[in-house]
């Protein structure tokens, strides 16, 4: 957008805020029992978990008022403003977005500030890719502008690149490696094909792009070309944008190839205490850092086809055949390529935005999302930011009408997430002591809206809280509850699968949610600081991820044309945050956590047997089993004691002590020394898979050591898991004692 158009968008947002304010008094004056949601009906819950009877009615009245306040018009105007120009982290445009967010939070009545950090980011210079054999052809062609979507012709868009790729120049034969997973390299070995010294052509999907580069590097590849296959997010799935939501043939997925599965954030963070000369040396050689050592470039399938159609060699397995209109072969050659990438590592300033809605105590309930984008970022991250602002505006309106949350609500808009969770990691690491004292939970919404299918991932203790919010929120299109539409569905996005099964053998069962892996800003909160966390979204068909086509017009045409699902997400997220902030004792459900641990422990035992180990001296899991039983008994004891306390007349101080003990159970699950080989990740329950990067691996230390057949490490990790479960069980027993009125924790 031109400057005048940006000003118009800003004026639209403020005028919508004025209209909302003018009707606020009427909305807040409605009786407590007025219908919730646009459909006008919903079933009242039998009880409000975590609340005493004395406080439940007031909470329901305030929630009834809250859900009327988010508006589609304001959410649409916000997203239009957020996508008015490309705003890559470390640029003035990203700073302008941060200033806009700070001002909007302040206008909503929150205490807002910008928190800057100086970090090392990565930017492209000259990029050259050409096919040099069997004929010469220039590749790495830019994405094509689309008629009717002027943003796609914006010259300010950054060209496609892989952040943190080293600068290099490579010429070599091309080898097709499918998704670039460990099993793909095993299949290549069986076919007698090697990537050593060659250029690996790898399609996106199944795992994080950084994992693909890491594995290619480990297998000796000289360079990596990443492409989006039309079978994964292009025309094989449906109509490409603008006719449909899928990736056009020239679309390119930008992205960071930082090895965030080792540690996320500023890549020089582990170098604290070193001199500038020593840091420069490390950056030059990349020794000991989470940065790749071979060059990487993302390309379109249009360009990948020019290489694939000139590959001969072995015919790969049937499942390696993608959607490009030609038979796939592995090579090597006769296709050869020349790649030159000029990249620079630069110290830039990034801008986190932190806004507080003060409560009666200094306990924190946090909600966040990042604001930086590879280009325009309408879905990723603009949809989440628009939802976050709707929550803040609506809760600010409640505060002006007389509501004060019991606990302080903190809104967080992170910068440089796309480079490797840089802004959130920096803030969490800086505030570890405060978080351990004050933080109760963190709610993340990154790609908050790309369709109608609600789902998410969460630590097990918070999953029922998410389900409750979904049970009480109507779906805009059908009028049924969001929870009902959630049933019997499998969602997948970016290689992750999230399944929710409502029935098994005809019996009704609880909808499952995934464990937390990584790939968004909850990671530092959950896996490093041990804060109970959630990540929720409304999913859909989405093929324009990290491309120039993820813009306002895509959202208006394909993702959420009426912005009703932005409002739905604001209602669900608002309910979750209000219940955490207002409850006598927030509804941490450790009985579900215990049940999940028992279920997954069966899987862990099976993995040991599958590895051919039947001798308990090699790996004995009985100690973990005993600790899991103790955790389950303590969870039941704590849950029952809290229910008795809430049914009586518990004093507030006792309730707050119980709350802190329950929230601290997650931190008790951390390993003090971290996971073997990657100590930044400390959670013994789940972590991003070392060969997945996004998707979670449960009991990661033990499980991944088993997969490597590294039995000494497996024994060490099993002991760490046993100790973590014992610590967590003791916290639960302490909570039960306090809830029962016994003095001391």
Rounded to 10°, the helix 383-400/564-582 angle is 50
Take residue 40 and report the two structure tokens written for it.
């006008």
As to burial, measured by CB atoms within 10 angstroms (0-12 exposed, 13-18 middle, 19+ buried), residue 506 is exposed
> Cα dist. 114→350, 367, 480 in Å?
10, 16, 40
- The set of residues, in sequence order, having a beta carbon less than 8 Å from that of 117 and lying 6+ positions away, is 266, 349, 350, 352, 415, 422, 423, 426, 427
* Catalytic-role residue among 85, 237, 390, 417: 417
Cα R_g (the chain), whole angstroms: 26
The answer to whether the CB of 388 falls within 8 A of the CB of 411 is yes
Neighbour tally for 544: CB within 10 Å: 28
Q: Is 111 tagged catalytic?
A: no
DSSP 637-679: HHHHHHHHHHHTT--HHHHHHHHHHHHTHHHHTB-TT-BTTBT
| Cα angle value 362/364/370 (rounded, 5°) | 140
In the chain the first and final C-alpha atoms are separated, in Å, by 58
Report the alpha-carbon distance of residue 517 to residue 631 in Å, rounded.
23
- The set of residues, in sequence order, having a beta carbon less than 8 Å from that of 668 and lying 6+ positions away, is 530, 724, 727, 728, 730, 731
The answer to whether the CB of 674 falls within 8 A of the CB of 504 is no
Place of tokens 């079978």: 231
Report the alpha-carbon distance of residue 628 to residue 499 in Å, rounded.
25
Output DSSP code: residue 239. P
Beta strands, E only, 669-742: 686-688, 696-698
Sign of the alpha-carbon dihedral angle for 236, 228, 516, 623: positive
Take residue 233 and report the two structure tokens written for it.
């997010």
The answer to whether the CB of 543 falls within 8 A of the CB of 247 is yes
Q: Which active-site residues does the annotation give? A: 417
């Amino acid at each position: 957008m031109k400057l005048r158009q940006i000003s118009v968008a800003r004026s639209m947002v403020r005028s919508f805020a004025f209209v909302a304010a003018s009707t606020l008094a009427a909305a807040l004056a409605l009786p407590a029992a007025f219908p919730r949601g646009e459909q006008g009906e919903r079933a009242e819950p039998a009880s409000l978990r975590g609340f005493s009877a004395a406080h439940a009615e007031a909470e329901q009245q305030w929630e009834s008022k809250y859900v009327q306040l988010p508006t589609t018009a304001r959410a649409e105007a916000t997203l239009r403003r957020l996508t008015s120009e490309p705003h890559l982290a470390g640029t003035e445009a990203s700073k302008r977005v941060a200033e806009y967010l700070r001002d909007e939070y302040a206008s909503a009545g929150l205490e807002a500030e910008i928190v800057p950090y100086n970090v090392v980011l990565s930017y492209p210079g000259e990029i050259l890719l050409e096919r040099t054999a069997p004929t010469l052809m220039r590749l790495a062609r830019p994405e094509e502008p689309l008629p009717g979507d002027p943003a796609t012709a914006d010259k300010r868009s950054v060209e496609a690149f892989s952040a943190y790729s080293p600068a290099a120049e490579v010429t070599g034969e091309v080898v097709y490696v499918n998704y670039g997973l460990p099993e793909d390299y095993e299949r290549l070995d069986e076919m007698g094909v090697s990537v050593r010294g060659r250029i690996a052509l790898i399609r996106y999907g199944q795992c994080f792009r950084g994992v693909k580069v890491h594995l290619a590097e480990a297998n000796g590849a000289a360079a990596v070309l990443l492409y989006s296959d039309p079978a994964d997010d292009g025309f094989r799935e449906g109509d490409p944008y603008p006719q449909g939501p899928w990736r056009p043939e020239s679309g390119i997925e930008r992205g960071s190839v930082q090895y965030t599965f080792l540690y996320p954030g500023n890549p020089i963070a582990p170098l604290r205490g070193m001199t500038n000369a020593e840091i420069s040396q490390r950056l030059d050689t990349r020794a000991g850092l989470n940065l790749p050592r071979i060059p990487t470039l993302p390309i379109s399938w249009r360009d990948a086809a020019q290489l694939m159609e000139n590959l001969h060699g072995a015919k790969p397995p049937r499942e390696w055949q993608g959607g490009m209109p030609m038979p796939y072969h592995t090579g090597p050659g006769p296709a050869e390529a020349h790649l030159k990438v000029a990249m620079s590592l630069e110290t830039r300033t990034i801008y986190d935005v932190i806004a507080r809605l003060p409560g009666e105590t200094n306990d924190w309930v946090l909600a966040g999302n990042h604001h930086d984008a590879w280009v325009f970022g309408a879905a990723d991250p603009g949809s989440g930011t628009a939802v976050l602002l709707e929550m803040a505006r609506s809760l600010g309106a409640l505060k002006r009408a007389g509501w004060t949350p019991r606990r302080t609500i903190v809104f967080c808009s992170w910068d440089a997430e796309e480079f490797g969770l840089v802004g959130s990691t920096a803030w969490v690491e800086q505030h570890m002591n405060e978080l351990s004292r004050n933080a109760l939970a963190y709610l993340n919404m990154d790609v908050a809206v790309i369709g109608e299918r609600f789902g998410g991932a969460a630590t097990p203790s918070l999953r029922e809280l998410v389900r409750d919010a979904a049970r009480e929120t109507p779906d805009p299109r059908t009028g049924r509850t969001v929870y009902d539409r959630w049933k019997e569905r499998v969602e997948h996005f970016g290689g992750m699968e999230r399944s929710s099964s409502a029935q098994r053998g005809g019996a009704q069962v609880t909808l499952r949610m995934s464990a937390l892996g990584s790939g968004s800003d909850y990671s530092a909160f959950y896996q490093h600081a041990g804060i109970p966390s959630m990540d929720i979204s409304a999913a859909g068909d989405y093929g324009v991820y990290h491309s120039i086509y993820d813009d306002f017009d895509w959202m208006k045409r394909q993702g959420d044309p009426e912005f009703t699902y932005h409002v739905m997400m604001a209602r669900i997220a608002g309910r979750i945050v209000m219940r955490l902030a207002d409850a006598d004792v927030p509804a941490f459900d450790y009985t579900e956590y215990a049940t999940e641990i028992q279920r997954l422990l069966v899987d862990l035992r099976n993995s040991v047997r599958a590895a051919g180990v039947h001798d308990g001296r090699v790996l004995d899991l009985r100690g973990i089993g005993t600790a899991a039983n103790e955790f389950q008994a303590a969870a039941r004891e704590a849950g029952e004691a809290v229910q008795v306390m809430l049914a009586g007349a518990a004093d507030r101080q006792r309730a707050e002590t119980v709350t802190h003990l329950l929230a601290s159970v997650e931190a008790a699950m951390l390993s003090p020394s971290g996971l073997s080989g990657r100590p930044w990740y400390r959670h013994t329950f789940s972590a991003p898979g070392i060969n997945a990067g996004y998707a979670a691996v449960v009991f990661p230390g033990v499980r991944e050591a088993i997969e490597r057949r590294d039995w000494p490490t497996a024994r060490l990790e099993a002991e760490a898991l046993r100790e973590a479960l014992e610590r967590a069980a003791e916290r639960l027993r302490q909570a039960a004692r306090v809830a029962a009125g016994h003095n001391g924790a």
